[in-house]
Amino acid sequence: MKEKLQNALLVVRRYWQKPPKGQEVAYKEIAAFSVGTMGLKGYGNLMTKYIQMTATCLLTGTVYGLSPRDLMYLFIITNVIGVIKTPFISMLVDNTNTPIGKFRPYIIWAGIPTVIAIIGLTWLIPCEQTTVPFNTAKMLENGMSPESLRILKIVLIGVFYNLLSIAQPLTGNAQVGLTQVISSNSAERSKILGFSEVLGNLGPSIIQFLLPTLGGLIFGKDAMTNIWNYRILMPIFALASFFMSFIALYYTQERAVIPKMHVNKIKFLDGMKILSKNREFWAITVTRFFDSFKTSLVALLPWVCTYQLRNSSFQGIAETIVSIGFTPGMILAPLLIYKLGTRKSGLTFCLANCIAAAIMFFSFKSGFVFFVISLFIFNFTDGPQYIIQSTVMSDCLDAQQDKTGVRIEGFAQNFQAMVTTIGTILSTVLFTFVYEHFGLVADPDTGVTDYSILYNDDVREPIISVIILIAIGASLLAALPYLFVRLDRKTMVSIRASLQRKKVITDLALTDAPIEEQDAAYEAYLADKEKADAAAAAKAAEEKAALQQKQLEERKLQAAFKHELLLAEDNIAARGGSRGDARRAANAIKKKRQAAKRAVTKAAFDKLRADSKALNARKKQFCKDWIAAAKAEGKKRWLRVLAREAFSRQLAKEANESPEEPVTA
């Protein structure tokens, strides 16, 4: 085991800055993207878990006292604004052409207002529990009417929540967009996506564990209904997410397969016309339409902890347990996509959602443990769907580019947002009707809602039962669009070959040349590539034979070692030695062998350290020369980042052109 770990560490160090042969992305960039994903997903966790315009949100509901109806109105207004701003955001993203790409700049441009909005929503809303900066009781004593106070709360929450609802999705778009262009190779993208999602979801997992748990240690079992828990911890988590996201900005690249001189400029209506004919895009869009109906099950957990278990601080532990369910499903997703294809995988997991929700429906009344177990199963079946949807989206955008010559990630994401917004509005209206139907309504005089009514099983359990039934129906409807997905592995190989051809023709400035000249140029490119691939295959065969020979020699050495031990023990026994003498002689031989192996391992690590030191020196000089040349050309922005990217591309090129050295200790 120790030897395997050492070899794994050697492999990681070898490919930390230089990608493996046949790949585009080094391990350092994958790690940086994954850590950045932790931060970008951390924003989303703070918004979707703790700042929601829904009655199940303890901050806006129980702490600030807004009724389900007021929250519904706020939610609808926010989403209408979201629909209005979508065309402008779409054009902004798809017409972004900065030196570092079209997605990474939004990590800064959207990250700062996201942090400001989170601070505003926790510190600048009037609340009964604090005098800083606004206390509702004192405001009423000073002559403000309950209705005016209610409107003031709604307006302030609306302002900051709308700022958050505009900025945070842009950070999410940046993360999703980077997953689609971090590599031009679909298989490599899926692997990176699987790894980055597993590691990236640690960010939300850490937040949803620490915020209730630390709050419980400081404020007791009612921490999640105490405003100071949110005021102290949420800005800290928001700032941590902001700084972590910078790692993705500085150490990742965008590798869309587009011509070198391509600059994307596209009108909104043209983008919509292009998308209207993309079948896979619509299949995923319809599937995502039902997400808000399905994920209502997860939103029930704060209520169940606070009003059924009667200990809101346990929410962190419970959410950590159920969120672990996402991980094994995400790990399995790339394998299932490879084995079953995206269509069958999507159908399988959506139908599995129905089964998990049905288990919850028949078991949650039996106790809190049954609710957590069934929600864990639901998350296990729900987790892979994000990777499946992202894979289909990546493929359909490549197919769209092959067909139309443009990439429209921003249009795709934001037009989906317009459609899914309709789903979230409908789900919110439907759930508000359910809440009010079973008695969760505002006081007619004060406008404040008393959420303690949910301690009553006769009120709480019917609400939960109906919401689970809605989730079952939504999961079934979400499965049906996968029947229309047709982009399989074979089709995508052909599409990417076509994209590569177009890129070669454009880069050679042969776009307007006769078709015969284009064909000749591309055939020459393919011939050169075939020669390079043949040489690489021959070298790989040599390396494989060398590795097999090395393994054979290692087996011989292991057999010789065992034989040496037996001979030593036999010699000791022949001379009349004891069993202890034989054991000590064997241990001496083992120690000698272990010392020799340690020396080999040390030599391998020393070589890697020397190689790494030389590589860093080369990188430093390369970046210095590149920046000097860029400044001479008049370039001023992002020069350090761009220099590192140029060096990374050079290393990837060398990795694919040079033979692969064995990495073993």
Clarify whether residues 464 and 526 are in a common domain: no
- Give DSSP secondary structure letters for 381-411: HHHHHHHHHHHHHHHHHHHHHHHHS---HHH
CATH number at residue 343: 1.20.1250.20
Clarify whether residues 235 and 323 are in a common domain: yes
Residue 448 · residue 62 · CB < 8 Å: no
- How far apart are alpha carbons 626 and 629 in whole angstroms? 5
What are residue 260's phi and psi, to 5 degrees?
-60, -40
What are residue 95's phi and psi, to 5 degrees?
-100, 15
- How far apart are alpha carbons 567 and 27 in whole angstroms? 46
Residues 6+ apart with CB under 8 A from 122: 59, 227, 230, 231, 234, 235
Sign of CA dihedral 575, 581, 587, 591: negative
Clarify whether residues 481 and 540 are in a common domain: no
In this structure, is residue 665 part of a structural domain?
no
Q: Measure the CA dihedral 44/46/51/57, to 10°.
A: 110
Last residue of a domain, one of 461, 494, 527: 494
- How far apart are alpha carbons 396 and 336 in whole angstroms? 19
Clarify whether residues 433 and 519 are in a common domain: no
Clarify whether residues 269 and 187 are in a common domain: yes
Domain span at 611: 515-657
Residue 179 · residue 189 · CB < 8 Å: yes
Q: What's the mean per-residue pLDDT of the chain?
A: 85
What pTM value is reported for the model? 0.71
Give 574: exposed, middle or buried? Use CB within 10 Å, 0-12, 13-18, 19+. Answer: exposed
Clarify whether residues 479 and 596 are in a common domain: no
In this structure, is residue 499 part of a structural domain?
no
- How far apart are alpha carbons 120 and 115 in whole angstroms? 9
Last residue of a domain, one of 494, 528, 558: 494
Clarify whether residues 35 and 157 are in a common domain: yes
What is the mean pLDDT for each group of 10 consecutive residues in the chain (665 residues)?
Answer: 70 83 86 93 90 91 91 91 76 80 90 96 88 82 88 94 92 86 80 83 88 92 92 96 93 69 57 81 92 86 91 88 83 81 90 93 90 92 86 86 77 78 90 92 82 92 95 94 88 87 83 85 86 78 78 81 78 76 78 81 83 89 92 88 87 72 53
Residue 62 · residue 451 · CB < 8 Å: yes
Clarify whether residues 395 and 489 are in a common domain: yes
In this structure, is residue 440 part of a structural domain?
yes
Domain count across the chain: 2
In this structure, is residue 508 part of a structural domain?
no
In this structure, is residue 522 part of a structural domain?
yes
Clarify whether residues 471 and 546 are in a common domain: no
Tell me the one-letter amino acid at 177. Answer: G
Tell me the one-letter amino acid at 7. Answer: N
* Predicted local distance difference test score (pLDDT) of residue 50: 92
In this structure, is residue 554 part of a structural domain?
yes
* Predicted local distance difference test score (pLDDT) of residue 34: 93
- How far apart are alpha carbons 356 and 294 in whole angstroms? 11
3-state secondary structure 200-246: HCHHHHHHHHHHHHHHHHHHCCCHHHCHHHHHHHHHHHHHHHHHHHH
Clarify whether residues 523 and 462 are in a common domain: no
Tell me the one-letter amino acid at 606. Answer: D
In this structure, is residue 596 part of a structural domain?
yes
Scanning 324-455, the segments in alpha helix (DSSP H) are 326-363, 368-404, 409-437
Clarify whether residues 481 and 529 are in a common domain: no
In this structure, is residue 18 part of a structural domain?
yes
Output the CA–CA distances (angstroms, integers) from residue 174 to 346, 420, 657, in the order listed. 24, 18, 32
Last residue of a domain, one of 494, 525, 553: 494
Tokens of 614: 């030389």
Clarify whether residues 311 and 394 are in a common domain: yes
Residue 346, Cα to own-chain centre: how many angstroms?
18
